Structure 1
Amino acid sequence: MKNLINYAIAYAKAGFSVLPMHDKQPLIKFADQPPLTTNEITKLWKQYPFASIALRTTNFFVVDIDEHDGGQDGFKSIQEFKNKHPDLLTHTLTQATAGGGQQRFYLKRDDTTIHQNIGWLPGVDIKAHKNNYVVVAPSERNGKKYEWLNHDPIVTAPKQLIQLINKNNNYADDDISFDKFSGLKTKTTLLFETISNGLGNNGSRNNNLTSLVGGLLFRNVEPEDAYNLACIANSNTNDPLPDKELNTTFSSVQKKEIRRRGG
């Protein structure tokens, strides 16, 4: 693959937060860090001349459409959504991914917070966390290219679209005001309780472990820390999972999270 340094600098000058990538793995630590400067990008691409490019979803989010294993057809899901809400998925900057999917880019709103929503629709993820990212054109993966399908400007998402995305979110906390005690439990509360109380009985241990690890990684807990917390939860279980089964489940969830972050 050719050196993409000029593209990386151009993205940075356009206001994006750029990351150098190998396959779908960032080559630097970046969580909660400021965007790379053009000088930093130049140094990194000298160090990694064949790095691909990802953009952090800081001031924009992505509707990530794909055909997943298990028969989830994101394109069908999006068409069904358009049939119900014809005015919400407005024309915007869109790219084709190396895996045959599509990603639609929308600017975040100032008046409404959007929550990341993995599995918003069957085969459709919403990538929106400030520490998430998507690989972008003209990067390549396994010999296939990411390509822009248009050069439209990125438009601001309609408020109603944000509201529908935030509804029925599997991982994000409920919209609760924390300026006073609400008495309600959030999804983060349930993660803490799972760590403390264990993974439940034999029939639910794997599902609870999957939810725990997925919730931790979604919240950008470092994988090593997430693994340690999973081990604590397992040790607090009356009939713990064998180490091999725990490791297999953790590895599967981690790989899935990496795929979803990479686009």
Structure 2
Amino acid sequence: IIDIIKGLDIKASKNNYVVVNPETDLDEVTELPEVLWTFYQTNKSNGRKASNNNDLNDFTIHELDMIVDGFGEEGTRNNNMSLLVWTLISLGFSKNQLYAVIGLANSHSGLTDSEIEKTVETSWRKWTNGN
């Protein structure tokens, strides 16, 4: 979910909270602070899903369509690029591979090199704990 409030996204990675139902039975997981759960419940309707393609089935990875089709409409491109970057990182892509694939997808989108570099470098730093 992105844009719950300006600047706040809730997404899954090694370095971010993942919001789940508190009744879910998860062993050895850091408990979500009650204040964050209350905040999420109160504000989740303000957010929007990062991708909203109803044509997909359970076996489709929408982010991979971006490689061929680009990052979408203006106003969604940076969020979609970030989604693709995180998907590729979670699939085990190296930083060089990230730049190659993001560059290919961007050939249909026209984001600046600095926008791409900022997203890739920030995401990579978060994923690798600064390494």
Residue in structure 2 matched with residue 232 of structure 1 by the alignment: 104
Corresponding residue of 2:76 = 204
RMSD: 3.7
Pairs within 5 Å for 1:17-96: 81=22, 84=23, 88-89=25-26
CA contact (8 A) 2:66 2:84 kept: yes
Cα offset, 1:191, TM superposition: 2.5
Structure 1 pair 89/244, CA: closer, same or farther in 2 (3 Å)? Answer: closer
Q: CA deviation at 1:247?
A: 0.6
Asked if the contact 2:98/2:120 (under 8 Å) is kept, the reply is no
Q: Which structure shows the bigger proportion of residues in strand conformation?
A: 1
CA contact (8 A) 2:63 2:87 kept: yes
User: How does 1:91-170 map onto structure 2 within 5 Å?
Assistant: 104=28
Residue by residue over 1:100-159, the C-alpha shift from the partner in whole angstroms, topping out at 9 and shown as x without a partner, is xxxx38xxxxxxxxxxxxxxx788xxxxxxxxxxxxxxxxxxxxxxxxxxxxxxxxxxxx
**Alignment match of 1:221 (pick from 93, 97, 104):** 93
Tell me the secondary structure at the aligned position of residue 184 of structure 1.
coil
1:183-241 CA-partner distances (Å, limit 9, x unpaired): 835353x222100000112200100000001000101112211111001101122xx11
2:59 counterpart residue number: 186
Provide the rounded CA distance (Å) in 1 between the counterparts of 2:85 and 2:57. Answer: 22
Q: What is the alpha-carbon distance in structure 2 between the residues aligned to residue 230 and residue 216 of structure 1?
A: 9
Give the structure 2 partner of residue 245 of structure 1: 115
CA distance 1:89–1:198, change in 2 (3 Å): closer
Q: Match of 2:122, as an amino acid?
A: S
Whole-angstrom distance in 1 between the partners of 2:58 and 2:102:
21
Q: Specify which structure has the bigger relative contact order, considering alpha-carbon pairs within 8 angstroms and separated by 6 or more residues.
A: 2
- Structure that is richer in helix per residue: 2
What's the TM-score, normalizing by structure 1?
0.31
Q: Which has the larger radius of gyration?
A: 1
Q: Verify the 8 A CA contact 2:64 2:84 in the aligned structure 1.
A: no
In structure 2, C-alpha distance between the alignment counterparts of 1:185 and 1:224, rounded to whole Å: 29
For the residues of structure 1 that align with 2:84 and 2:121, how far apart are their CA atoms?
13
User: 5+ residue gaps in structure 1?
Assistant: 1-65, 91-103, 106-120, 124-169, 171-182
Instruction: Give the letter for the 1:235 counterpart.
Output: S
Q: How many residues of Structure 1 are paired with residues of Structure 2 in the alignment? A: 96
Residues 18-69 of structure 1, C-alpha deviations (whole Å, 9 max, x = no match): xxxxxxxxxxxxxxxxxxxxxxxxxxxxxxxxxxxxxxxxxxxxxxxx8x6x
